[in-house]
Amino acid sequence: MSAGVDLDSVSMDFGTFRAVDNVAVNIQPGEFFSFLGPSGCGKTTILRMISGFIDPTKGMVRIGGRDMKGQRPNQRPTALIFQNLALFPLMPVWENIAFGLEVRGVDKIKRRARAEELLRLVDLPDAGDKMVSQLSGGQKQRVAIARALAVEPSVMLLDEPLSALDLKLRQHMRAELRAIQKRTGVTFIYITHDQGEALAMSDRVGVMSQGKLQQVANPRDIYNNPANGFVASFVGENNVFAGEVKGQEGNLARFVTPGGTFTARLGPGVAPGAKARLFLRPEHARLLADPGAANSIPVEVTDVAFEGNFISIHARDAGGQVLVAEARNDGSSSIPQPGERRHFAFDGANAVILTGDTAAKDVDE
Amino acid sequence: MTDLLNRYGALLTTVFILLTGFWLLILIVLPNVYLFEHSFKPYLPVAEIGGPKDVYSFDNYLTFFRSPIHISVFVWTVVYSAVVTFICFLMAYPLAYYLSKVSARALLPTIFLLLFIPLWVSEVLRSFAWFIILALKGPLNASLLGLGIIEDPVRWITGFRGVIIGLVYTYVLFMLFPLYNAIASLDSNQIEAAEDLGAPWWRIHWRVILPHAKPGIASGSVMVFMLSAGSILVPTLLASTNSRWFTEIIQQWMFESQDWNTGSAYAFLLLILCTVFVSAVMRIFRVKLSDIAK
């Protein structure tokens, strides 16, 4: 029993600060939807509006087609998993999970049975009588999920629930969350500033910046076809060239920069003649021994970092700009040494010209 | 100890320890030991002190158990102290919750100042003030009559009413602050989580906030109860003809009968019996002493 969530042009003002600015998105029943953005972009505010802790200043939140205005969190068919989980430390695990049922007047034997059932679902049997403080981080995570599932919500809201876990566990829980979502069919709305999480788990991702929804698309399109400079720079690494669009060349645009002239795809809303930026993913860049036919600039290799599955090569062009190319660690390309002179080249179809602010990367995680 | 030495040197450390020792020994331990010793001795004319009759016995303590009136006064003192404690809790809990979870942070200093100001006035004056407020022709009755809430003036200071009102007023802050601290330490997300799971406000309080605040409730209750049971000013000033407080009996032994021996015995009985009562209540509510110390 899952429901869709319809954000109908919602805005939220705190005093003079507009935390959420005219966000409109239609989340489908049973969808795994992520709001991705740096801290302070308004994604948590959106979550609090859906769960009912705050009402939007403007616009409407509809869950399952019903207007939620004035409905308190305890009246909405949502369950929120808090960033710090907010488990009740004075109750044993099973009472935590059964709390929502206790509220609904389910008798104790049934509550206990349901709690055990959910504990098995989240792969944590026999933990019912433990206290929360006796559990590990990942186990607490599972209890929080079970507690939220116990009330059979139509929509599950998750506020960066994995951010406190270490990397290994986080990757494991990603898969776990995804599996639980598929098993239960509940709509998941997931808040994160971790692009890897958002891309790996979601059916669709909404990228946010400064209260505005920048792009809503499936993870592949978010990465491959970013709508603007913010999305391109917030999700994944880039080589960025500032310049000007000057004419067509086949189905690509010609882009003039101080360092040279390139061809690239025109991003949405970028007109010929506009000042814009060219974005190129490091994995699409190659370092050739000889100048390429097009899209090629001479560089000097400055640093080679071995990352395991790939090798990251930093190089500097004539203007002093640092460029990054990535090579797969499969022996298919020759890895240059620092100080070597190469040609930084790329295929114009892999580069995209966009306007809009670039994101200052969130460095706290 | 070495830490203290390293930080302040030998001289200052010695001064600290001597001052603390002086305070503990001269001002607390010795007077109590003196009274404790005397509580086992008979009250004798000066000439017979040190004589053959001056021997240790439990007679002074037994005086209490042989006097049904004193026992009943003690029981009522405990009962009404408990009532005062409970009323203090009922008054302080909503305020503590409001202060710690609802009110704007910026307002807190002002509210706390307003709460503290009455404490700057001496307890005697405050009790007198209540004596005036509660008088038959006092301002309380005048306002209630003026507002048409009551038809005839209410005799407030009758039975234990005046004492209860006075004690609640005097000691309610001793309940408020531990409660405030306890509730403030609760993660607000837990309240929101409970609400999100569908709990109505009363269940959030019952299942999440109250259990968390239990140590605060316990320490506030112990303080208010012990202070009330041991209070002498308020029961003396706001008493009616038929309200007697146990401390008044101790005072009678000490100052009216000049019998410090029996008076001491009664004082220790009050301490011991109240401690027993408090421990019993703590056991019933499953509160540990270590929780309170937090």
| A210 and A245 in a common domain | no
- Contact between B194 and A88 using a beta-carbon 8 Å cutoff: yes
Contacts of A51 in chain B (CB under 8 A): 196
Residue B188, classified by CB atoms within 10 Å of its CB into exposed (0-12), middle (13-18) or buried (19+), is exposed
* pLDDT computed for residue A364 by the predictor: 37
| A136 and A28 in a common domain | yes
A contact residues 272-331, partner B, Cβ 8 Å cutoff: none
Residue B53, classified by CB atoms within 10 Å of its CB into exposed (0-12), middle (13-18) or buried (19+), is exposed
- Contact between B203 and A51 using a beta-carbon 8 Å cutoff: no
| A74 inside 8 A of chain B by CB | yes
Q: At what angle do helices B68-97 and B161-184 cross, to 10 degrees?
A: 40
Contacts of B104 in chain A (CB under 8 A): none
Q: How many domains does chain A have?
A: 2
| A24 and A140 in a common domain | yes
| A308 and A195 in a common domain | no
* DSSP β-bridge partners for residue A212: A209
| A151 and A87 in a common domain | yes
| A343 and A212 in a common domain | no
Q: Average pLDDT of each block of 10 consecutive residues along chain B (294 residues)?
A: 82 91 92 89 81 83 90 92 95 94 90 88 87 88 88 84 91 93 93 92 94 91 92 87 87 88 91 90 82 66
| A310 and A287 in a common domain | yes
CATH number of the domain encompassing residue A284: 2.40.50.140
Residue A134 burial (CB count, 10 A): 12
User: Is A325 domain-assigned?
Assistant: yes
Contacts of B286 in chain A (CB under 8 A): none
Alpha-carbon distances of A229 from A43, A217, A273, A365, B236, rounded to whole Å: 19, 15, 17, 22, 79
A contact residues 7-66, partner B, Cβ 8 Å cutoff: 51-53
Q: Which distant-in-sequence residues (6+ apart) come within 8 Å of B205 by Cβ?
A: B97
Asked if pLDDT for residue A46 goes beyond 90, the answer is: yes
Q: Six-digit token pair at A65?
A: 């087609």
Task: Give tens-digit pLDDT for B28-86.
Answer: 999 989 988 888 888 888 777 777 778 888 888 998 899 999 999 999 999 999 999 99
| A201 and A102 in a common domain | yes
Contact call for residues B268 and B35 (beta carbons, < 8 A): yes
Contact call for residues A259 and A343 (beta carbons, < 8 A): no
Nearest CB to B198; choose among A82, A87, A103: A103
**B197, B201, B212: best mutation site toward chain A, by most A Cβ within 10 Å?**
B197
- Contact between A103 and B203 using a beta-carbon 8 Å cutoff: yes
User: Is A91 domain-assigned?
Assistant: yes
Distance from CA of B195 to the nearest CA of A (A): 5
Alpha helices in B242-293 (DSSP H): 246-251, 260-284, 289-293
| A214 and A259 in a common domain | no
User: Is A77 domain-assigned?
Assistant: yes
| A212 and A259 in a common domain | no
Distance from CA of A360 to the nearest CA of B (A): 30
Give DSSP secondary structure letters for B188-200.
Answer: HHHHHHHHHTT--
Q: Which distant-in-sequence residues (6+ apart) come within 8 Å of A307 by Cβ?
A: A329
Domains of chain B: 67-293 (1.10.3720.10)
User: Is A97 domain-assigned?
Assistant: yes
User: Is A359 domain-assigned?
Assistant: no
User: Is A229 domain-assigned?
Assistant: no
Task: Give tens-digit pLDDT for A327-352.
Answer: 888 877 778 888 889 899 898 889 99
Contact call for residues A20 and A12 (beta carbons, < 8 A): yes
- Contact between B195 and A86 using a beta-carbon 8 Å cutoff: no
User: Is A172 domain-assigned?
Assistant: yes
Domain boundary among A167, A202, A224: A224
CATH number of the domain encompassing residue A104: 3.40.50.300
Domain boundary among A176, A198, A224: A224
- Contact between A73 and B196 using a beta-carbon 8 Å cutoff: yes
User: Is A157 domain-assigned?
Assistant: yes
Structural domain boundaries, residue A274: 237-354
- Contact between B200 and A78 using a beta-carbon 8 Å cutoff: no
| A247 and A191 in a common domain | no
Contact call for residues A284 and A350 (beta carbons, < 8 A): yes
Contact call for residues A355 and A277 (beta carbons, < 8 A): yes
Buried/exposed A39-61: b ≥16 CB within 10 Å, e otherwise: eebbbbbbbbbbbbebbbeebeb
| A180 and A76 in a common domain | yes
